[in-house]
Chain A
């Protein structure tokens, strides 16, 4: 079991790529509805931490618990199912499927969860409206701006109403104005749906949207000084 109130708990995570250690005994915990910013310099292991927490990558050692389940003990199929139902993802470049329209992109995780197409697209339209990009729903990702694309990516991540949203440098490819707007929409929407957020960033301006900050350096995560 995770400690009382912890939704996601990681203990003593180790991960090595080749000969380079990415995580070297990192610990982490996340409470329901909490927004945690993970900060650190390039190559410090932030993204690896996110991938391990989300069950995308298995750690070499250490454990990740999600609720009462030990994520690191689940097989790939179970972890994939968990990612479909309980987790959402936003990446730096959106990673939208270029051949699908924006509304189809948002509907995609719902459809993967078995929601019928019409219903999935109805819900997707609601999310696009909420993220103020309803007008581009019929366009393909290649036809919209970076900021609009990233909002579509946020809508896609939240469409399944995940309990945890993992955002890896979600504003890294945007200008400050657009970045600010995307972060506001992301955190507001997450809080509205009580989703916890793991936010990877190296920008203090972005981290300011979080409740708590974790610093990752040399593969070890530490609570930021002065953080709540």
Chain B
């Protein structure tokens, strides 16, 4: 056994004070787990009763761990919240099924009546029960009757507000109840279910249950990137902050550990005791992090991203990730403590720092970002992002290696640069010499800034690129499509005409055009498979409407025109075509043959492909040329040109179309909801980056004050022989500014590289948000001033003559 028994050994050998033994009782050897537990508990006691410095260290460790735990819990909740969101969507939906059940007591006609109001999507569903026992979706006890509706709390609030006046005209059903949480995808969702007395097939689907057999689509690449990058960019500075905080009050702790060595603790025991001190802060942080997570998830109710808004209760990590976080985070803080003590030997008479001066090697530091880039480059070269576990891991590991590469490169860069700095005024010399002697602690704190800024720049680039992509896509589709187009089922030209008249009478409408359209096909030959490529489209309208589609030499009732969109061999005057083609594979309908009149004349379309559904018309016909009722799934297609300068013109148009047919689909390039959503997320990210940088600034202050504290005697002597306060103040500024500036330069390079790679991965053009880059650099500069300013009062204090007193 070692001659230096551990303190706990001594404790166990303590005798009962009531007895007076002649010789001390022999020490009972402790089992290893017991020794570990005892020492850790003793360290925790020191942390709890270690005075002001101990409590500051504990509090800072707890704050850092709490932030880390909260970020990890949120990250670990993403898969479950997406599952929950998809689950809610799946449970309440049943649109688009291929085989409708026969009409009966338990069936209901069901249709989408989605709309948009002031840029906000509103999910609408119309129901018309066939019998007395229709299925009821989650969140409601019964279906609303005709002219009534159940609404989500958010929609109720909107309808009741002055802003909702126009919407009330559109949704003029009587509100008879509120949809419960089970029927909503998120608390901010705007949705309603209305009873309709006029809904009919095929506008409505017949269903006998809610709950769609539907596999959720994989998360979109930007969402995957966002989650991974946010976790990496936030966690790294937090880890750095933990590393800084466990070093607070080192001097006092080392004195205490030396005292413990003096009374017999061995080196391993002192390390375990130090670990116990960190563990205490870490456990407090774990609890605080869990509380912070619970608080933060309440905010999720206010956020809508990619039209996804979730309930706080749905944000919950699975048991395995939660357990891993609960175990690994405290363990990580203990490891950081042990890592901080490497090269330091606590001896009974003090601390011996026996770490030799290590020359920082470049090769392995460069290797990390190179490996990261090597993992990301193939993803960037792929045509399209494929959501697979392998790619996700490649992306996460590649991004982390790039970011961590920065942390590895920074100490080398700082060392290399400061070793070349000479001369200059006294404050500069003091700062540079300090960094030359020991740049470790300053660099350690700055690595946090570097990773945070690099991550923030990369994420911002990702968002800026995505936003630019959406804006470009909307601008492009605005050129290709009219501003507003509607389509929905109709089986009469008269209804289409009435719709056009109503639209033309709507305030703000400059013009409206429309047609009744349908698919037609070749007549199937019995015993032969149908030719799926043989579909054609026909547009039916009066001559005035047809003239808006094609150049007609003359037009009269009963006329038919053949456009130049098709091969003349397939469709020609005199040929017989099928007005009721097979549109669904398993559902061969009865053919409705129709002969194209012999007097059909050729024409060419004015703007081929202008229809909102992008179909070109093969045939144009006036209503009396054919029996419209024989067409399969005929739709009215309405296109509106309106006065953009008139406030709410579009909302008036939507009100009109809602009254023409609530189930009309709108194709619009007016609202770009992504723009607003992305802007708000970018603002949030910027704020997050600022908070992270301030956190790191706090870490830097701790490091600086700690250093000042250790040097207070020297500072007092400098003051004694007349050194100006300003000189020392400037030296602190330079001491912070040099590593921070180098860190920011590195962050800029790394952030731009990573951002460019991420944008390439999602096939977006590389766009740099220079104001954000400048903002980040500005915040970095602000951190320097912030740290310096807050370090000055302790500096003045340390310069007092008290430090010179030795008695």
Contacts and interface: CB of A to CB of B under 8 A. Distances in A.
Nearest to A84: B722
Contact of A99 (B437, B713, B722, B727): B437
B722 A82 contact: yes
A100 interface: yes
A81 B721 CA distance: 9
A140 interface: yes
Interface string B427-446: 00110011011100000000
A92 interface: yes
A54 B727 CA distance: 21
Residue of B426, B429, B722, B723 with most chain A CB atoms under a 10 A cut-off: B722
Nearest to A22: B805
A99 B717 contact: no
A66 interface: no
Contact of A93 (B437, B713, B722): B713
B804 A168 contact: yes
Contact of B717 (A42, A80, A91): A91
A83 B806 contact: no
Contact of A95 (B714, B722, B807): B714
Nearest to A96: B714
Interface string A29-63: 00000000000001100010001001011000000
Nearest to A44: B807
A112 B429 contact: no
Nearest to A168: B804
Contacts of A54: 720
* A-B interface, 6 closest residue pairs, ranked by CB to CB distance from nearest: A84-B722, A95-B717, A83-B722, A99-B433, A99-B437, A99-B434
Interface string A127-165: 000000000000010000000000000001100000000
Nearest to A157: B721
A146 B436 CA distance: 23
Contacts of A88: 721
Interface of B: 423, 426, 429-430, 433-434, 436-438, 711, 713-714, 716-724, 727, 801, 804-807
Nearest to B711: A98
B416 to A, nearest CB: 18
Contacts, number: 83
A108 interface: yes
Given A43-B807, A47-B805, A89 B721 contact: yes
A93 to B, nearest CB: 7
B721 A172 contact: no
A117 interface: yes
Contacts of B718: 95, 97
A56 B801 contact: yes
A139 to B, nearest CB: 12
B713 to A, nearest CB: 6
A112 B723 contact: yes
Interface residues of A, number: 37
A42 B719 CA distance: 24
B722 A109 contact: yes
A56 B436 contact: no
A8 B438 CA distance: 42
Contacts of A9: none
Contacts of B721: 83-84, 87-89, 109, 112, 156-157
Contacts of B716: 95
A142 B722 CA distance: 23
A100 B426 CA distance: 11
Contact of A47 (B714, B722, B724, B804): B804
Nearest to A153: B717
A27 interface: no
Contacts of A172: 806
B727 A112 contact: yes
A87 B723 CA distance: 12
A213 interface: no
A99 B436 contact: yes
A51 B430 contact: no
A156 B720 CA distance: 13
SS of B interface (majority)? helix
13 contacts: A47-B805, A56-B720, A80-B719, A83-B721, A91-B804, A92-B806, A96-B714, A99-B436, A108-B426, A109-B722, A112-B722, A140-B437, A168-B806
A56 B719 contact: yes
Interface of A: 42-43, 47, 51, 54, 56-57, 80-85, 87-89, 91-93, 95-100, 104, 108-109, 111-112, 117, 140, 156-157, 168-169, 172
Contacts of B436: 99
B568 to A, nearest CB: 91
Task: Count chain A CB atoms within 10 A of each CB in B433, B713, B720 and give the residue with the most.
Answer: B720
Contacts of A100: 429-430, 433
Most B-side CB within 10 Å, residue of A80, A88, A111: A80
B438 to A, nearest CB: 8
Given A42-B807, A56-B804, A98 B429 contact: no
A113 to B, nearest CB: 8
B723 A99 contact: no
A57 B800 CA distance: 9
Given A47-B804, A99-B433, A108-B426, A81 B714 contact: no
Given A95-B713, A95-B714, A157-B721, A47 B433 contact: no
Contacts of B804: 47, 51, 56, 91, 95, 168
Nearest to B713: A95
A51 B717 CA distance: 11
A96 to B, nearest CB: 7
A225 B682 CA distance: 81
A72 to B, nearest CB: 15
Given A47-B806, A85-B722, A95-B717, 17 more contacts: A43-B807, A80-B719, A81-B722, A83-B720, A84-B721, A91-B720, A92-B806, A95-B716, A97-B433, A97-B718, A98-B714, A100-B430, A100-B433, A104-B429, A111-B429, A112-B722, A172-B806
Contacts of A89: 717, 720-721
A225 to B, nearest CB: 24
A57 B806 contact: no
A191 B437 CA distance: 36
The residue in A88, A97, A172 that gathers the most chain B C-beta atoms within 10 A of its C-beta is A97
A99 B743 CA distance: 22
B357 to A, nearest CB: 11
Contacts of B426: 108, 111-112
B418 to A, nearest CB: 11
Contacts of A111: 426, 429
A141 to B, nearest CB: 9
A157 B720 CA distance: 11
B433 A112 contact: no
B806 A98 contact: no
A167 B437 CA distance: 28
Nearest to A46: B807
Nearest to B721: A89
A92 B441 CA distance: 28
Contacts of B433: 97, 99-100, 104
A80 B724 contact: yes
B216 to A, nearest CB: 60
A169 B722 contact: no
B430 A99 contact: yes
B720 A47 contact: no
B714 to A, nearest CB: 5
Contacts of B429: 100, 104, 111
A185 to B, nearest CB: 19
B723 to A, nearest CB: 6
A169 B806 CA distance: 9
Contacts of B438: 99
